[in-house]
Amino acid sequence: TTLEIVEHGIICVSNGIIRSIQRMGEDYSESDSTLPPSAFLQKLGHDNNNAQQLTIRIIPKNHFLFPGLIDTHIHASQYPNLGIFGKTTLLEWLNKYTFPLEASLTDPAKAKRVYRQCVQRSLRNGTTTAAYYATQSARSTNILTDVLIDLGQRGFVGRCAMDSDLQPKWYRDESPKAAKDDTSACVGYCKEADQSGRVRGIITPRFAPSCSRDTLSNLGRLLADGEQDGLLCQTHISENKNEVELVKQLFPECSSYAHVYDVHNLLTPRTVLAHAIHLTEDEIALIKSRECGVSHCPTSNMALGSGSLWVRHLLDEGVKVGLGTDVSGGYDVNVLEAARMACLVSRGVAEGGKGERSKISVEEALWLATRGGAEVLGLGGKVGGLEVGMVWDVILVGADEVPVDQDGEEAEKMLNGVHHDHDGKQTKIGGKVDFFGWETWEEKLAKWLFSGDDRNIRAVWVGGELVCRK
Ligand code: GUN
Ligand code: FE
């Protein structure tokens, strides 16, 4: 509920880990910062023997560092369909738009193109960790793994297991055995391809209606086998009322949607459940007792008319919650869009009868987009914040409105408040136009949350490595 702000400070990072955070006024004085760099570092108590390997970066005025954003639910394979959903709701949308597109990614060249564009755009929007769904095809899924490794984003890659008779014949696993073997193969591929553990496989039964009982059980077993490795599982739950009804018909032996997953051992502290809008109190108690995480996807839920999650209630009940873009049910790769939608949807929920306290604040939305997501993905204490011992998964947010989408030289001139006409005449343009200036830091963050976009993200680091710079 509150932001911790360091207005003047020094952060020391080595091997991708935050080693110290020092504040002016507490750890050093303003006059110390005028010392030569080596004397200053010595004064701060840093070992200066490797000074020639030391890089000093000064964060420009009106810029700030923020923890990288975490997208707990995104379908990279659906990226070409952004914004294309018409007035459909979930089940019609899947058949009409989603399955045909995903099936077309068996073409490896197309898969690579789509995944690269999606991951690149996600990084440019400041997402440092994402939990991805690829497609049913193992080959196409492994291409997404390659792309993540190449582009440097931290992430989880899931092959959609889907062998139910309800799936179209042209887009489903052949048998429960094939569903299990292909899932294992994709998890194994990540392990081989990326020993650093930055990119990992994730068990992904698409959702109950697309899986046979055997497949759900098999995947529950794979999940249990992967406990030592911290293997995660992701799926969809209770997104849409017709879907909930369908699950009731398909699994009459189970008392609820959550119960279907529970009897197949798929509800664990390593399970990420997307949507969770229409859960009953009993189901909420069940997922809480199993310590599952919820991925709240408000952009998607509004687009597909799925409903409004009462997120305050889940938080009050102690359920872990993070945010997901759910591309392309969601129309935007930007986690900030999901965060601002979380705020707006919560106001609708409050107005609809749940009361004032249901409103999500700016601070809470930003928490959900970072630390909340980290907890959901089993990365709590590692990423999602700026703290000693945490990994340097960080974004540089730039506040200057003018130069970011200008090309270099023009941007420089405008920054300096001088506009150069084509005939060489120089005109003052009344100083630079600041996106930020007079506000408190809390207000700057609110302004960024509600009206910022990818142009404000000036640099992105994952594990200390600069993976995107503009
Ligand atoms: N339920 C099953 N598959 C999907 C999907 O691709 N997107 C969303 N939003 N819900 C689903
Ligand atoms: Fe989804």
> Which neighbouring-strand residues pair with 320?
293
Beta carbon of 326 within 6 Å of any ligand 1 atom? yes
Beta carbon of 73 within 6 Å of any ligand 1 atom? no
Measured in Å, residue 324 CA sits from the centre of ligand 2 at: 9
Beta carbon of 456 within 6 Å of any ligand 1 atom? no
pLDDT of residue 40: 82
Give just the sign of the alpha carbon dihedral 88, 89, 93, 95.
negative
Output the residue whose Cα is nearest ligand 1's atom 8.
329
Nearest C-alpha neighbor of 354 from the set 345, 362, 363? 345
Measured in Å, residue 94 CA sits from the centre of ligand 1 at: 7
Domain 67-376: give its CATH code: 3.20.20.140
**Ligand closest to the CA atom of residue 324:** 2
Beta carbon of 207 within 6 Å of any ligand 1 atom? yes
Beta carbon of 325 within 6 Å of any ligand 1 atom? no
How far apart (Å, rounded) are the C-alpha atoms in residues 141 and 123? 19
CATH 3.20.20.140 residue spans of the chain: 67-376
**Would you state the structure tokens that stand for residue 112, as one six-digit string?**
């690579």
For 198, phi then psi, to 5°, come to -70, -35
- Map residue 225 onto helix, strand or coil: helix
Nearest ligand 1 atom to alpha carbon 326: 9
Decide if 199 contacts 191 (C-beta within 8 A). Answer: no
Q: What strands lie across the sheet with 320-323, from one edge to the other?
A: 69-75, 127-133, 154-158, 199-203, 232-237, 271-275, 293-296, 320-323
pLDDT of residue 425: 52
pTM comes to 0.93
Measured in Å, residue 349 CA sits from the centre of ligand 1 at: 23
pLDDT of residue 48: 61
- Report every protein residue that has its C-beta within 5 angstroms of ion ligand 2: 326
pLDDT of residue 13: 93
pLDDT of residue 45: 82
**Would you state the structure tokens that stand for residue 355, as one six-digit string?**
């009361």
**Ligand closest to the CA atom of residue 93:** 1
pLDDT of residue 5: 95
Measured in Å, residue 440 CA sits from the centre of ligand 2 at: 37
A 10 A CB-CB count for 30 gives 9
pLDDT of residue 439: 82
For the chain, which residues score pLDDT lower than 50? 402-407, 414-420, 426-433
Nearest ligand 1 atom to alpha carbon 239: 10
> Which neighbouring-strand residues pair with 154?
129
- On whether ipTM exceeds 0.90, the answer is yes
Query: CA–CA distance from 226 to each of 218, 229, 329 (Å)?
Result: 13, 5, 30
How far apart (Å, rounded) are the C-alpha atoms in residues 88 and 238? 17
**Would you state the structure tokens that stand for residue 396, as one six-digit string?**
């540089």
Nearest C-alpha neighbor of 340 from the set 419, 184, 450? 450
Q: What is the DSSP secondary-structure string of 20-89?
A: EEEEBTTTB-TGGGGS-HHHHHHHTT---TTGGG----PPPTTEEEEEPEEEEEEEGGGGGGTT--TT--
